[in-house]
Every structure is written in C-alpha cells, then in structure tokens.
A and B are shown apart, each in its own frame.
Chain A
C-alpha cells in the first residue's frame, strides 16, 4: 500500500507537471518533471509487487515484561525485540498494541529501523496499569515492512500472547476482603461465615494427574500398579455440601457503561468479594466469560479457582467486546452445572449474548441449581439526564423488567449500583431477596 510519503510525492510531482506544462509552458523543465514522475510511479508499482512476495513469517519477536510499583501506582516495563531469521535486511515500522487497562507512561510503543539476521530492533517503554487490573495480556504486534524509499508498505499482524500478573492485585483483594466482612452480615447461598459446608473432603474416584494438583493427592498405589504405562493418577475429592459457584459474565459492549467504565470497575470489585467469600467457606469458583475476543480455554476455568492471582487473571479478561459469543460455552455449562451449584449471572440486558444467558439459566432450572441475576441500575451510572437520555433510560428499564419477568422465577435479582457493589447485602435486603 502507498505510504503517506508516497502519496505526497505523487501529488507534488503531478502538481509540478501540470503547473509547468499548462500554466508556464516550459518544455525543458516539463521533461525533467515527466522523467521524475514516471520514475517514481513505476518504482512504486515494482516495489509494492515485490513486498507482497516477502515472507514475513521469518520476523521473530521476543518480549520481556517487568512489573514494578511506584508511588502507589502499578507499572510494567516492556521490552520488545524484533529480528529476522533469514533473508536480506528489512526496513520496518513496529507498533505494539497496548493491552486493555494500560496507558503509555514513558517511551513510545512504536519504532522504526532496519532488521536483519545480524541487527535487531528494540522497543522499550513503560506502561501504567489501571489499579483495578491485576493481569495484563498482549495480543498482537503490527509490523509495517517498507520498501527501500519508504514510498509503499505492507502491514502484518504478528501474534504475541505475552502476559503478566500484577502483584498489587492481591493487595486489592486483601483490602476488599476486610471491607466485605463488614458489609455482608447475612449472605445468601452459603457465602457467609456460618458455614453451610464443611471441610471434610470425600474420596470420589481417580483422575489423570493434572498440573496444579497437590503432590499428596497422587494415587501412589494405583500408580505403582500401572507404572509401566507411566501415567500419573490422582485422587479425586469432593467436599460434602460444597457449592460450586459459577460466575457468568457477559463481556458484550453493553457492560461498557459510565464515562470511565465505572460498571466494569464495579463488576471487578463485586467478583473479588464474591470470590473471597466463597474461598472462606472452601467453595470453588468457576468462571464463564462470554467474550468472543478470547479463546475457549481462556473463557472457562477448567477447574475450581482458588488462587487470587488466577482470579485476577479472569477479572482482567472482562472487557467490553463487539460482537456476540459463539455459544459453545453454553453447551459446556449445561454439562457441568449440578444441583449443588450456584450461578451468578453478571450482565446488562439487552445484549448480543442474551440467548446464551437464557440457555444457561434454563440449564440451572433443569438441574435445580440456584442462580442470581446481577444487573446494573443504569440510572446510577448515567449522568447528565434530561431529554433523550431520560427517555432511553426509561426504555432500558422497561426492557430489563420485561426480560426479568420471563426469566427471574426461581432465581434472585441483585441490582448493581455505582460505587455500591461493596454493599451488596443492603441492596439484597432492599430488593427482598433474602
């Protein structure tokens, strides 16, 4: 494709040619202008054709991430190196796409230079990370390969799924933990301190050993019997009376509410407190993210989550995305949900993923699992009322009520209000849920 330089060059040459030929008829200058214009036009055609045959798969990327904290803020020092495995030198311009929840604090996320097997290009910059984000993930790097004279270029997107957990996220959890104790005097569905569940693990069978299983859970006797096969077998336990808490979050564009995404921040806080309460009782958390931008294994937690870092990783994946989810997640949910399960649906109807949520709710009803519907109170998130805004808010409320009237039977409803997600109990009482 033509670069800005190439377009300007062609336009300026055309202007000169027309000016010299028609306005100031001067053959000698006109011929010079013709020569240059034809030269650069043909050059651009040849160069752009040549660029298309380049193998950009030979471009290699390596990233190093170093999180640090300064004056109560979180930063990540990022270093990206590019080089080419084989072939001649390439003139490239690199633009690193910043991950969700980060801003550039120092340096630039773009660089320009020549890369070859001998010579690499290094990008170095510092990102400031939003305090509500405990995990950042890079996705793609844009690489523009230029021709020799920078008149045309070819853009390639190179996958780079680097990720880093921000340690400060754990501190946030710890601080929210204490607040949660204060604000939730009588929590529903086994989340509180008066244990509805015990800690007596019951042996229910065996399973192949997975990464993350404790060493003491390895079934050594069974392993000794079939040692030739080499597969390690682990014991499988379930807690008596354990409630599996499934947190379902609709990451459609409908959750992007508030001038600075206040609903997103509130959802993150709400989930943290929910997880902490579940953790106190020994209940397992399962995440289900309806986010089409993620891979299936990133949307669903394969096992019960109890690590605070992993919880933060899932929270970081909650960001508004355009387009609906494929719905594959609903089928897996139907297989996993049990009677001793509870699902918390966090969403903002109407959205593109409503049909998936409806299917999941039906699955809960079918097996007799409890469920809670958490919807935002849009009046608290939208400021500057009046006129059309007021009308839209009323319409939104009407749609929500209509939808709830068809799907809320058997479940609870919690309304998320701006800044009041820590006071869920009060909201719960107000709505007459308990």
Chain B
C-alpha cells in the first residue's frame, strides 16, 4: 500500500508541471462554450467503457453544429473556437496518457508530449492575450512567423517545475519498471541521475557566459548517445 502511494505521488509530481502550465494558459484565454465543448469532446474518449455511448454525440454534435453555422450563417468563429478547444485538450490528453502508460517508452513519450504541448499552448495563449486574437489563429501565425517565438519568455519557476517533474518521472520509472535487478543496479540510478544533472548544470553555466549553449548541449547528448549505440548496440551485435 505504501509503495503504491509513493508511486502515485511520484506520478502526480510528474504530471504536475504540464497541469500547472495548462492551468496557467487556461486562465489566460477566454473560455467560450464551443472551446469548452471541443475540450470536453476529445477528453470524453477516455470515458469508461460503460459511458462510451456518449463519445460519438459529444464529438459529432458540436462539430456538425459549428459546421452548419459556418455554412448557413457564414460565421467561422464557432468552428475556430471548437478547433481551439481541441488544441487546448492536447496536453491534458497526453497527461492522461502518462497515467495509462504500460511501458517505459510510452511513459517517456507522453511525458515529453504533455510538457511540450502545454508549454507551446502557454506561449500561444500569451501571444493571444497580447494581440487579442483567437487562440487557433495565433497558433497558425506563430508557426508561419517563427520570429514570434523569440518574444515569449517563460517565467523562471517553469524551469524549476520541469526539473522537479523530470526527476519525479525518472524515479517513478525506476520504481515501477525496475522491479528486478534493483539490488545489483541500485547505484546506477544515483550515478546516472547525478551525471545527467551535472551535464544540464554545465550547459546552464555555459549559457551564463556565452551566447549559444545549444551547440554544447547537442554535442554532449550526441556524443553520449552515439557512444551508447556503438558500445551497447552495434558492436555487441557485431560480436554476437
């Protein structure tokens, strides 16, 4: 029971950062009825099997209604709001994916997808608030005009939250999937976490003195990944 509680707490901590960022951008945008419908309709796909009958009307009813208004009344706002609703549901869907992940790869993919999508939506929401435009249109503008990304600067506590959730995720993965060999490989967890943190600290420290630290980060990760692939993959296969 205690183990289960600790695992649930770690999973909660993993999901906390995407959820806080999602709450932040939800507070910044204007919540229209069709945006909420779009959000709920995609989230309804995770309903339990006995309520699955509600999924089809929840998805099709707002979509057909907004499309009918566009065609008959020539008002595109409802359709755009619905699309925005679908968009803002993405981090939440990915967060549910973290809860339901069955293996390490799924856990990691959904975590990164949730974090990335929530941050992008936060950036889009900030831009939408500044320009008083609709969320969906701002997103299209941001992707068309890449300079727009440079104007957005996230608050410092985002970095702290991301570090916290990353370590929680790594610890959770170790506890949940590392059931065997824990005794032998217990030190690996500490060693790898320390080395990864040191590398991140090195890149951050470098960025304080020099302008572009991305190249250094890429070099470190690239070299280690290449070495790993060579050492544990290609050479082993060749020998075996």
Contact = CB atoms under 8 A, between A and B. Distances in A.
Interface of A: 1-2, 5-10, 12-14, 16-18, 20-22, 24-48, 50, 88-91, 114, 146-152, 155
A148 B232 contact: no
Name the residue among A20, A33, A149 with the largest chain B CB count within 10 angstroms.
Answer: A149
Given A42-B196, A44-B228, A148 B178 contact: yes
A1 B235 CA distance: 9
Given A1-B236, A32-B112, 12 more contacts: A6-B233, A12-B108, A13-B108, A21-B217, A24-B120, A31-B217, A34-B217, A36-B108, A41-B221, A41-B225, A88-B183, A150-B177
B162 interface: yes
A26 B179 contact: no
Most buried by B among A31, A45, A48, A146: A31
A48 B232 contact: yes
A31 B160 CA distance: 11
B188 interface: yes
B185 A148 contact: yes
25 contacts: A1-B237, A5-B103, A9-B105, A12-B105, A17-B217, A26-B119, A26-B149, A29-B116, A31-B200, A32-B115, A34-B199, A34-B220, A35-B163, A35-B197, A36-B166, A36-B170, A36-B196, A38-B224, A39-B195, A41-B224, A41-B227, A45-B227, A89-B180, A90-B181, A150-B103
B177 A24 contact: no
Nearest to A18: B218
Contact of A21 (B184, B207, B214): B214
- Lowest 8 A-B CB distances belong to which pairs? A148-B178, A2-B233, A91-B180, A39-B196, A1-B236, A38-B196, A48-B232, A41-B228
The secondary structure that dominates the B interface is helix
Contacts of B159: 28, 31
B231 A45 contact: yes
A24 B199 contact: no
A152 B232 contact: yes
Nearest to B191: A46
Interface string B185-215: 1001101110111011001100100000110
B192 A9 contact: no
A248 to B, nearest CB: 37
Interface of B: 103-105, 108-109, 112, 115-116, 119-120, 149, 154, 158-159, 162-163, 166, 170, 173-174, 177-185, 188-189, 191-193, 195-197, 199-200, 203-204, 207, 213-214, 217-218, 220-222, 224-225, 227-229, 231-233, 236-237, 240
B188 A50 contact: yes
A38 B236 contact: no
A277 B182 CA distance: 64
B177 A148 contact: yes
B199 A38 contact: yes
A89 B181 contact: yes
A52 B22 CA distance: 45
A114 B180 contact: yes
A24 B116 CA distance: 11
A380 B224 CA distance: 60
Nearest to A38: B196
Nearest to B235: A1
B177 A149 contact: yes
Contacts of A25: 149, 214
A48 B220 CA distance: 21
B225 A47 contact: no
A8 B149 CA distance: 30
Contact of A9 (B104, B174, B218, B220): B104
A147 B179 CA distance: 10
Contacts of B184: 50, 88
Contacts of B149: 24-26
Given A26-B149, A148-B178, A10 B225 contact: yes
Contacts of B195: 38-39, 42
Contacts of A39: 170, 192-193, 195-196
B158 A28 contact: yes
Contacts of A42: 191-192, 195-196, 224, 228
A134 to B, nearest CB: 36
Contacts of B112: 16, 32-33, 36
A30 B220 CA distance: 13
B200 A34 contact: yes
Nearest to B222: A14
A200 to B, nearest CB: 61
B166 A32 contact: yes
Contacts of A18: 218
Contacts of B236: 1-2, 48
B152 to A, nearest CB: 9
Contacts of B105: 5, 8-9, 12
Nearest to A19: B116
B240 A155 contact: yes
A2 B192 contact: no
B184 to A, nearest CB: 6
A38 B196 CA distance: 5
Given A28-B159, A31-B204, A148-B182, A12 B109 contact: yes
A169 B184 CA distance: 50
B87 to A, nearest CB: 16
